[in-house]
Structure 1
């Protein structure tokens, strides 16, 4: 009698279009630079709880954008522009990184322009991303972190089906180069269904 060995590989698709009710998640392109700069990379409030520093010019954003676009050549690079389906405006980003093939694990992070906060956007796109990463790519464990002061991000994670795991002390650098405490959330796919 032979036991079938379960496929343990991930089905890397790269950054493919994903639609939610209100948004299209798609690859960034060069023409997005103004939206990215105006909507979040130049905004100190948007950067407050993140590791990236505020960009002092569109040229800085353009350099980052060129790197993101180049990385799309890799099939295991996952970084989406959150685009309003009605207006075409890029209002944020969402990504998966720190991938472990053996553990089928990744980490997700997101940023939404401040003028669009408290409209359910991050929850809507994170739910759909978790669905994509687990059911299409094959991740079993998706983790997210937030600065302990950013309680709104924790609510987004919970509403998206993630579960609070623990608090980590002095875990990551924020945009002001301060080491911050954070909360850790996990989504673990139920493989029995």
Structure 2
């Protein structure tokens, strides 16, 4: 099972790349680290609505293939001005069917609110796109910095492992149990 770990900040000097790499490390071999700063997505430039699936641009087709290959997703997002960044909204808007039915987790980070307002703003968008939210983890990242490097510690490692386990369970098909014979 491939879990796409999407780093949503494209800002220079961000810590999202460190948090994303940590999450991908926790996911192990099934983790696919996807950095929006490397995807080359301009401000939405597709002539047709994403729900048609008719993608005219090569960057959209590459983005579609990358997301379609993921069984579940984790969005690693900072909180900017009480919400999630425009880079993530733009990336979400490029696609439609590729998101549908996928379990999704959110790892939000920030200062005072630990990214809580970003996660709260993001969840309605994810639900509208047909994703299945399974959990949110908040990281007050300044509490986990040492010499400018993100150092998660045991409690955050445990939270990450729990979120990833929940995603894995959500992607496991349910096998119907036959009724008991009477």
For Structure 1 versus Structure 2, the TM-score category normalised by the shorter chain is: 0.3 to 0.5
Relative to its length, the structure with more helix (as a share) is: 2
TM-score, scaled relative to structure 1:
0.33
TM-score, scaled relative to structure 2:
0.34
